[in-house]
Structure 1
Amino acid sequence: MMGVEKLAALRNLIAELDRALIAYSGGIDSTLVAKVAQDVLGDRAVAVTAVSPSLFPADLEDARIQAAAIGIRHELIETHELENPNYATNPVNRCYFCKSELHDRLRELAQAWGYDYVLDGVNADDLQDYRPGIAAAKERGVRSPLAEVGISKLEVRAIAKSLGLPWWNKPAQPCLSSRFPYGEEITLAKLQRVGHAEYYLRKQGWELCRVRSHGDTARIEVPQEQIADFVTMTDLEKLVNHFQSLGFTYVTLDLEGFRSGKLNAGIGRDPERGCRD
């Protein structure tokens, strides 16, 4: 099917559900699902965003702005995955425990509010990756309309653009827990430190960046083609002082450049896949 046909199929699929609750992170995948659900179901659709220490604070504000622009009802819930040792010890299937917490909470809300279906933003490409969070969602009966219709990540962006969504090319922003190597314990203080560090870089104009945390070392990633500009345009002394004030001892720049999931490439699994969206 072409993009127009897949959009029509997506609309038809969601229309058949009558009422739906959307697990809405503010990423482009779940935003597209929320947009179509609002268009098709109107006030019978609700978007719900989970708030926890692993959510980048600026992403919550983005989610609010986007939901308001779409016109969909938007609710917030708190999740407490960090309290689960199975999550906090950061195993390779960490996302399973995150999504288990999320969808247990969403299922409770859906039942309380009279919604028969919970939808997520998993797309067709996601099914080809190592995604322990998908298993947790499926175990709880979550529907993935993008994947069911066969919409890929590139098609998500193309359809979002055709619908006039200004966030169609928004960079992926996985949860902050993806900044730590598997096996390194995740704590509230560490999440806050990484979040503040990345926020600092974003405020300096580096929209696509990561701060990888290796114990007391911060490893900065920006796209390879931006590395030279980063070195020449950044006040490096000020940056180092700021990062050290956050609790890092060493601050480094990855000369290979940004690549999603590179932190754990050695074990062949991408910690950024499936986080939050």
Structure 2
Amino acid sequence: MQKYEKLVEKMKEKKSVAIAFSGGADSALVARACMDAGIRCIAVTIVSPLMARKWIDDAKEVAREIGIEHVLIEKGISEDVARNDEKRCYYCKKEDAMLLKKFFGDYEAIADGINASDDYMGKIAADEEGIWHPLVELGIERREARETLKELGLSVWKRYPQSCLATRIQGRITEEKLRRIEQGEEFLLKYVDMVRLRCYKNVARIETIENEIEKLIKHRKEIVAALKKLGFEYVTIDMEGYKGYI
């Protein structure tokens, strides 16, 4: 908790902070620190088609648990993002940062939940727009953030981390593909606690943590039927298991 105490002290140096708030562990920790610092603060969730609708409800729930004021801003998918090239994340975070500055420029700082473990192009865009990364500044990594939230008694520490739905798509991003993935993952979560449904044209590739693969196999008939109904022609399971961070 020593780093968390330093985080709260960092927040006290600011008169006001607007937080880019996904409702995940990292942004939740920043929001809680702002509240504990007793400063003017607001949590801002940017809602786009790249998010599953359930995540918006989750973000609202986490904000209520923290007790912070929470607002939503909607945006669409720009052509830069829809192309889904290697700079997709850069363009998306650039747009988010510009929106935050437009609506919350009167706050002394606009902060996000990027942590010391993160290394992706979105951070470059945020840096260019002057977004503050307090967790990076204090060297707080992903696992430390979750452990601290557990000690603080916030339920979000138990949730598996999410990544935007665009990470599931090969090729151009369309709203039809996004909604197909969202509906497919919602169905799969009946059987497993975490899942990624990758979309490769007409092929669905399901990833879950290694010890839950057997659950997918056990219910393969129901899963194949449901995903084919969504428009997939082939349904596969990655037998190596999910390789991202937990």
Instruction: Give TM class, smaller chain.
Output: over 0.9
Two-structure CA RMSD over aligned residues (Å): 1.5
Counterpart for residue 171 of structure 1? 160
The alignment partner of 1:168 has SS state of helix
In structure 1, how many angstroms separate the alpha carbons of the residues matched to 2:65 and 2:207?
A: 32
In structure 1, how many angstroms separate the alpha carbons of the residues matched to 2:38 and 2:100?
A: 19
Asked if 2 retains the 8 angstrom alpha-carbon contact of 1:244 and 1:250, the reply is yes
Amino acid at match of 1:223: I
In structure 1, how many angstroms separate the alpha carbons of the residues matched to 2:146 and 2:221?
A: 38
Counterpart for residue 184 of structure 2? 197
Counterpart for residue 32 of structure 2? 35
> TM-score, normalised to structure 1's length?
0.85
Counterpart for residue 161 of structure 1? 150
Counterpart for residue 134 of structure 1? 123
The structural deviation recorded for 1:216 is: 0.8
Asked if 1 retains the 8 angstrom alpha-carbon contact of 2:191 and 2:215, the reply is no
The structural deviation recorded for 1:229 is: 3.0
- Trace 1:240-255 onto structure 2 (pairs within 5 A): 240-255=224-239
In structure 2, how many angstroms separate the alpha carbons of the residues matched to 1:56 and 1:256?
A: 25
- Trace 1:64-103 onto structure 2 (pairs within 5 A): 64-80=60-76, 82=77, 84-103=78-97
The alignment partner of 1:241 has SS state of helix
The structural deviation recorded for 1:237 is: 2.4
Asked if 2 retains the 8 angstrom alpha-carbon contact of 1:24 and 1:120, the reply is yes
The alignment partner of 1:124 has SS state of coil
Counterpart for residue 114 of structure 2? 122
In structure 1, how many angstroms separate the alpha carbons of the residues matched to 2:222 and 2:149?
A: 39
Counterpart for residue 205 of structure 2? 219
The alignment partner of 1:195 has SS state of helix
Q: Deviations over 1:94-145 (max 9, x none)?
A: 100110111110001112xx2121000011111xx3x110011111111011
Give the 3 Å change call, closer, same or farther, for CA 241–205 of structure 1 in structure 2: closer
Count of residues paired in the alignment: 246
Counterpart for residue 185 of structure 1? 172
Asked if 1 retains the 8 angstrom alpha-carbon contact of 2:65 and 2:154, the reply is no
Q: Where does structure 2 lack aligned partners over 5 or more consecutive residues? A: none
In structure 2, how many angstroms separate the alpha carbons of the residues matched to 1:8 and 1:78?
A: 33
Amino acid at match of 2:183: H
The structural deviation recorded for 1:238 is: 2.4
In structure 1, how many angstroms separate the alpha carbons of the residues matched to 2:136 and 2:169?
A: 28
Asked if 2 retains the 8 angstrom alpha-carbon contact of 1:243 and 1:251, the reply is yes
Q: Deviations over 1:62-112 (max 9, x none)?
A: 1001101111000000122x2x2221111112100110111110001112x
The alignment partner of 1:125 has SS state of coil
> TM-score, normalised to structure 2's length?
0.96
